[in-house]
A and B are shown apart, each in its own frame.
Chain A
Amino acid sequence: MTLVRVAPPLEQDVDLSKTYDAVIVGSGAAGGMAAHVLTTHGLKVLMLEAGKKLPIEQELRSMQWPYDHPRRGDAPPGSHHLSFNEYTIRKPPYAKGAAFKHVYSYVGGWTGSDYVKNILVDEKDHPYTGTNYAWVRARCLGGKTNIWGRLALRLSDYDFKAKSHDGYGEDWPISYADLEPYYDKVDLYLGISGVKENLPHLPDSQFQRPTKLNFGEVKLRESLKKAGQVLTPYRAGVTTDGLKHNKYRSKCYGRGACERRGGCDIHAVFDSPTGLIYPAMDTGNLTIRPNSIAHEILVDKNTGRARGVAFLDSTIRKSYEAKAKVVIVGASTLESARLMLLSRSPQHPNGLGNSSGHVGHNFCEHVMGPGVTGLIKELVGKPHTLDDGRPGGFYIPRFRNLKDRQPGFIRGYGYEGNSGHTMFPAHVMDTAGFGGAFKRSVREHAGAFISMGAFGEVLARYESYVDLDPETKDAWGIPVLRFHYQFSDNERKMAQDMVATGREMLEAAGIEVVGTDEKVLTEGWSIHELGTARMGNDPKTSVLNQFQQSHDVPNLLVVDGSSHVSASCQNPTWTIMALAWRSCDHLADELRKGNL
């Protein structure tokens, strides 16, 4: 093999006697970006990660053939992945009373649960309560960036100024012009592939070479173009041209099997460890401490400011304190809110940074499930081509409520989709019957389907929130989150439109609709939870300022999706990283000026 993998850098010893410039809680997209930016500014940083540092290539085994695995990718007996029905019919905590040894969220239940069993948390150890919610958590170095869906989109002023546009909710305290230079930095540092479309509602990135559309996708694109709509190749957080400044990542070479959830072991796809954390460690300024479960942000009794983080070592169940001038929280939208709520003190009786009472509230995300499947007749019986050697197929950007006003709902949605042949033939279980005719039909139709599913904006509402359950604790004795969260009528009306419009789009392209999904998946399914510590200019109605700095505690930053004011319908990862970069640049500046 010419592809030489570079081993992770050696870890520096953790010194808990010293005061670091910053301690970062979490190592995903947000924590990783904070580490990259602050160490580049020369600051000494300690990163706490609740999970293990995994030998990730051995976990992912991205090129392993199903038949080379004893269970064709399934986890060993005794493991169970929650299904849609379980999430819907039962109530959390979902693993309560389960006969299985391990219970995991639905991710990996599709195509290879054995590859993610050490990445996802065991629901038995990590319960939550309240309303139904499919909460996917990855506790390991890099968090969910090890298994993310790769769609890397920008938000626009249709999102940042959404209230000005339709009167609902709050505007963000920034505009697109504030964030654009940081989106550019993220693009250039991490690599993104795509095609420029010049859309005001989905700004272009600094793209590397795009992956290509296949026959069915081009057919749909051409048809949509006539109606003034856009279908663009999947904008993937993947380096297709390579990154000379990063020795840990290889460029994508289209080998396929990308649809298997469980990451990319050559790291062409962005993940936080190889993209951000290892290079930050190479500066000599970053120390990481895995197996460190933060359970309280510590406050100085005299000043009320953050002075460090109390954490539990999960291997020996012993508590420690890490001291720092600044505390940066990037533990994920829901875990960050939990940590703030857990950090109660006489100065901050409702939780740290929560004088507004908004921590945990304005919780929003994306609604998904509705979609359509079409059959492209021209492809039936044609030789199979390599169609899944791409990080994704296509994206149809939002088109609703830009210039028009829909009668049933506000905001919008986009479709993710793909067409063509995959390792496991598409829609085989929808093919009726058995025998020679069945087998031939599966073979002839396998590459001839096109499918797309929508992701829509869920409105941020104060009534949608999480708080601490007064009784239930996790395996470490830490109080867990209780959900008060359900989709509203706006999401349900939008979901109906997703199906009807998807059907119209395929039919207009001369593609026969052979299936529709009308079911809205359980809350949480999109894994795009956002907005539990929103930014804003008014400390009475928001938790953070425009630089993700707590209004109450200036040396506390919350740099993950919890800071988002509204969900947009565009996938959040790239925005999380652009915001974290901007905030940490500002923080370094403030520290240099002595303002903190």
Chain B
Amino acid sequence: MTDAPKHPESVSRREMIAATAAALVTPLLPGVATTPPAAVGVPGKFLTAPEFAMLDELTELIIPADDHSPGARAAAVAAYIDGRLAESLEPDWQAKWRSGLQAVDGLSRELNAKPFLEATSDQRVAVLTRMAAAEQDPKTEPERFFGQLKGWTVRGYYTSKIGIHLDQEYKGNVYQRGEFAGYDAK
């Protein structure tokens, strides 16, 4: 047997289930069952514990859990970004994140008279709103950092199990039965 299966049935039912399960069922479990509580100082690989906690909160504010799917925290986006930072060979890029997080804290002190993590959730949203105000043409450091932060949060989230399967409900990259479901080109 060297060719592709002649009939879809020749892909065994067990294989179909296995393929589907691998793609769809498994990722349901960690995300939905246990949404971890807000991180409170888990030490990062590159970031310090307070920095990591801040990043975790910022990613969740950008892509929060809603009634459709878990958010960036459950998808461990901060850990993904921190991992990339830790192994990076680009000190400039690492420094940009560190000073960016400091700038967020600075903005929070300016707006709320307290550090970001001590602010209320409304106050945190106010900080991010200010950072996002000039998305198309960022000028201040917090504004520029917003682009970096959002870009990596988006990449981390929509390439995660939760992002692909629960939020986007992506149908591909699994063995398909029958033909591609589309419209006939008539």
A436 to B175, CA, bound (A): 33
Provide a sorted-by-A list of 5 A–B residue pairs whose CB atoms are within 8 angstroms. Answer: A67-B159, A101-B89, A212-B182, A215-B183, A434-B62
- Asked if A312 is at the interface (CB within 8 A of a chain B CB), the reply is no
Query: Min CB distance, A106 to chain B, in Å?
Result: 18
Interface size on A, residues (CB 8 A): 66
A432 and B63 contact, CB distance less than 8 A = no
Query: Min CB distance, A421 to chain B, in Å?
Result: 7
> Beyond A433-B132, A439-B71: 12 further Cβ-contacts under 8 Å?
A65-B23, A65-B173, A72-B80, A213-B183, A214-B182, A254-B176, A254-B179, A254-B180, A256-B171, A266-B4, A435-B62, A440-B66
A1 to B169, CA, bound (A): 24
* Interfacial residues of chain A within 401-432, with CB under 8 A of chain B in the complex: 421, 423-425, 428-429, 432
Q: Contacts A212-B184, A424-B158, A433-B132 known; A256 to B2 CB distance under 8 Å?
A: no
A73 to B88, CA, bound (A): 15
- Asked if B154 is at the interface (CB within 8 A of a chain A CB), the reply is yes
A263 to B159, CA, bound (A): 19
Nearest residue (CB) in A for B159 is A66
- 6 smallest CB-CB distances across A and B, nearest first, come from A256-B172, A212-B182, A250-B4, A66-B159, A386-B171, A254-B180
- Asked if B155 is at the interface (CB within 8 A of a chain A CB), the reply is yes
A423 to B163, CA, bound (A): 9
A218 and B176 contact, CB distance less than 8 A = no
Nearest residue (CB) in B for A387 is B182
Interface size on B, residues (CB 8 A): 56
Q: Contacts A218-B183, A434-B132 known; A72 to B155 CB distance under 8 Å?
A: yes
Nearest residue (CB) in A for B125 is A435
Nearest residue (CB) in B for A68 is B161
Q: Contacts A215-B183, A434-B128 known; A253 to B4 CB distance under 8 Å?
A: yes
- Asked if B1 is at the interface (CB within 8 A of a chain A CB), the reply is yes
CB < 8 Å neighbour of B180 from A71, A212, A434, A438: A212
Nearest residue (CB) in A for B155 is A72
- Asked if A594 is at the interface (CB within 8 A of a chain B CB), the reply is no
A2 and B1 contact, CB distance less than 8 A = yes
Hey, which chain A residues are within 8 Å of B175, CB to CB? 253, 255
Q: Contacts A383-B169, A424-B158, A436-B66 known; A389 to B2 CB distance under 8 Å?
A: no
Query: Min CB distance, A389 to chain B, in Å?
Result: 5
* Interfacial residues of chain B within 138-186, with CB under 8 A of chain A in the complex: 150-151, 154-156, 158-161, 164, 167-176, 179-185
Q: Mark B54-65, 1 if CB is under 8 A from A, else 0.
A: 000000011110
A256 to B176, CA, bound (A): 9
CB < 8 Å neighbour of B4 from A78, A232, A242, A387: A242
Question: B7-15, B35-43, B98-106, B108-116: which lies at the A interface?
Answer: B7-15
Nearest residue (CB) in A for B2 is A247
- Asked if A384 is at the interface (CB within 8 A of a chain B CB), the reply is yes
Nearest residue (CB) in B for A5 is B2
* Interfacial residues of chain A within 232-273, with CB under 8 A of chain B in the complex: 232-233, 242, 244, 247, 250-251, 253-257, 266, 268
A423 to B173, CA, bound (A): 9
Query: Min CB distance, A190 to chain B, in Å?
Result: 16
